[in-house]
Structure 1
């Protein structure tokens, strides 16, 4: 049985055992952190690759005991000509977690999504290199969109959902103490990440 079939079977079993409600247009994921609860609604219709990839890490428990480990604040990010406001999270294995293959970049040019306050997006280095690390945008940051200059390649980042509960928690995390390398000291632990709704059918095909 290949990885996709294992994921499909796992999602179907979880949906049945947990008594999840019928598929929602934007399935939600709840992050229980040491700073408070954050709920994300994923746009699997506009960004199916990123959404389903994120859901796979969630259902396998990969984010449990991970952390929000990085904060970038526009007012202090003056070394970059395109400052941003984000907090970044990773699994316990770190931001370069390669437990699964990287996914193709879903450009905002194609999805129609934008990096506005509350957007959740995939962290990456080069195009098509994102795995598990994601970030939450705390203020409108168009330089993260396709054609924006935050990343020198101009391809932007893959937005795939938004915060529907706990944006105040994300903003509080952003203001927590950090060192000169933008690392939160200490990191904010993600106690658990749980899928609240049935996985969208696009993720089980």
Structure 2
């Protein structure tokens, strides 16, 4: 048991050292609506970036979908309104990895601005596979923001550097009614997610 414990600690230390000095990593999400190029920040949100890259490198996001869009017109019960598109594995639990530690924006220094890539969650420490991209600045998603009652905000870890036209096209998709008011009637398929050299 002690050997296993020390092996895990050593692996985490190596991962931390390798990521702490790492430069921004570029990723391309190819969807049926177009491409989105992202820049990830392992120096600011190492746990979240490492988690996302594991999904990418193991091709777990291939065939996933953008399935939820939040606009000013489709959140009637929310007092604090936001604008995002959300993607990931949705109901496919077979590809999910364990949830990760919540990295707050107060520590990372990142903000939820137009094009920010962040992790969807319920409680702190529940994020894993589902992610979202902001449309316009969304300060209520930062630490201390009011969108989530716990005030811990969401874990921002990257930025769209190309393809906001694709993001906005996805956000404009037709959604359902009542409890499905934010769910796309025709989810947008993610064809591949790959690192860019």
> TM-score scaled to structure 2, two decimals?
0.85
Q: RMSD over aligned Cα, in angstroms?
A: 2.2
Displacement of 1:98: 6.9
Matches of 2:47 and 2:29, distance apart in 1? 20
Matched, 1:135 2:132: yes
- 1:108-136: per-residue Cα shift (whole Å, max 9, x none)? 01101000000000000100000110000
Q: Is the contact between residue 22 and residue 43 of structure 2 (CA under 8 Å) also seen in structure 1?
A: no
Match of 1:196 in 2: 196
Greater RCO (CA < 8 Å, at least 6 residues apart): 1
Give the 3-state SS of the residue equivalent to 1:179 in structure 2. Answer: coil
Displacement of 1:92: 6.3
Match of 1:87 among 85, 102, 106: 85
Matches of 2:117 and 2:88, distance apart in 1? 13
Give the 3-state SS of the residue equivalent to 1:146 in structure 2. Answer: coil
Q: Structure 2: any 5+ residue segments left out of the alignment?
A: 15-20
Q: Structure 1: any 5+ residue segments left out of the alignment?
A: 9-22, 198-205
Give the 3-state SS of the residue equivalent to 1:62 in structure 2. Answer: coil
> TM-score scaled to structure 1, two decimals?
0.82
Displacement of 1:76: 3.1
Matches of 1:166 and 1:123, distance apart in 2? 21
Q: Is the contact between residue 32 and residue 188 of structure 2 (CA under 8 Å) also seen in structure 1?
A: yes
Displacement of 1:26: 1.0
Matched, 1:172 2:169: yes
- 1:45-80: per-residue Cα shift (whole Å, max 9, x none)? 100110110000000000000000000002332310
Q: Is the contact between residue 67 and residue 90 of structure 2 (CA under 8 Å) also seen in structure 1?
A: no
Match of 1:54 in 2: 52
Match of 1:104 in 2: 101
Q: Is the contact between residue 64 and residue 92 of structure 1 (CA under 8 Å) also seen in structure 2?
A: no
Give the 3-state SS of the residue equivalent to 2:86 in structure 1. Answer: strand
Give the 3-state SS of the residue equivalent to 1:83 in structure 2. Answer: coil
Deviation larger for 69-78 or 166-175 = 69-78
